[in-house]
Amino acid sequence: MRVIAGKARRILLNSLEGDSTRPTLDRYKETLFNTMQTYIPGSYFIDVYAGTGSIGIEALSRGAEKAVFIENNKKALAVIKENLEKTHLAEDAEVIAADAVSALIRLEHTGPADVIFIDPPYNRGYEIQVLKLLYSSKLVNEDSLVVVEASNDTPLSELQECGFEILKTKDYRTNRHIFLKRG
C-alpha cells in the first residue's frame, strides 16, 4: 500500500497485521481519487473509520488543506500517526480517537466538510447510522461530497432513505464506492 499521487507519491504506508482493517487497494484508491479529483485541492477532508489513514493521507498528498482521521482502534491509531509522520503530512492532520458518531458530533462546530469518506466494517449498518447523523449535521452542506465504501451486498435504497442522493456508484469485485450529495 502506497501513496499514489501528490507530494507524498510513492511512499509506502504501514498497515496493521491481521484483518482488523482492510485498506483500500491501490487500484481502487486511484479510481476513487480520479472521481473526487475536483473536490480535493484546498479541501477539508474527513476520513471516518480511517483504519491505516491511507485515504486521508492520499487526500493531503493531493492538496487537501486539512484532513481529520476518525478511528477508535488503538493499534490503527498508532499506524495512522506513523504514516502521517512518514509522509510528512502530520502538520495538516488531526487524529481523533473515538467512535464515529461521537467524533462527528464533536466536529460539528468546524463547519461543512468538502469531502467525507466513510469506510466502516461491512454489513453492520454503521454507514446508515453515520449518514443519518450527517444529514442533519452542519458538517454537510449542498456542496459536500460524501463517499461510502461498502460491500456489494449493501442495499443502495437504505442509503437513499437517509436523505442522500446517489450521484454515482463504482462497483469492484467485493465492494463499491457510493458518491452522495445531500438531497
Cell of 126: 454503521
For residue 105, tell me if it sits in a domain.
yes
Q: How confident is the model at residue 25, as a pLDDT? A: 67
For residue 10, tell me if it sits in a domain.
no
User: Which of the 8 DSSP states describes residue 127?
Assistant: H
Asked if residue 178 lies in contact with residue 169, where contact means CB atoms within 8 angstroms, the answer is yes
Q: How confident is the model at residue 154, as a pLDDT? A: 86
For residue 6, tell me if it sits in a domain.
no
Query: What is the edge-to-edge ordering of all strands in the sheet holding 115-118?
Result: 93-97, 66-71, 44-48, 115-118, 145-151, 175-182, 164-171
Q: Which residue has cell 487526500?
A: 59
Q: How far is CA 40 from CA 37, 72, 75, 144, in A?
A: 6, 25, 28, 11
Distance of CA 54 to the CA centre of its chain: 9
Asked if residue 82 lies in contact with residue 74, where contact means CB atoms within 8 angstroms, the answer is no
Q: How confident is the model at residue 43, as a pLDDT? A: 97
User: Which of the 8 DSSP states describes residue 174?
Assistant: S
Task: Assign residue 144 the CATH number of its domain.
Answer: 3.40.50.150
Count of domains in the chain?
1
For residue 11, tell me if it sits in a domain.
no
- Entry pTM: 0.94
Strands of the chain (E only): list them: 44-48, 66-71, 93-97, 115-118, 145-151, 164-171, 175-182
pLDDT tens digit at each of 183 positions of the chain: 889 999 998 899 988 875 555 566 677 889 999 999 999 999 999 999 999 999 999 999 999 999 999 999 999 999 999 999 999 999 999 999 999 999 999 999 998 999 999 999 988 989 999 999 999 999 999 999 999 999 998 888 888 889 999 999 999 998 999 999 997
For residue 56, tell me if it sits in a domain.
yes
For residue 3, tell me if it sits in a domain.
no
Q: How confident is the model at residue 158, as a pLDDT? A: 82
For residue 169, tell me if it sits in a domain.
yes
Contacts of 93 (CB under 8 A, 6+ apart): 56, 60, 66, 67, 68, 69, 84
- 102 lies in which domain range? 26-182
For residue 18, tell me if it sits in a domain.
no
- What angle do helix axes 100-107 and 126-135 make, rounded to 10 degrees? 20
Asked if residue 102 lies in contact with residue 41, where contact means CB atoms within 8 angstroms, the answer is no
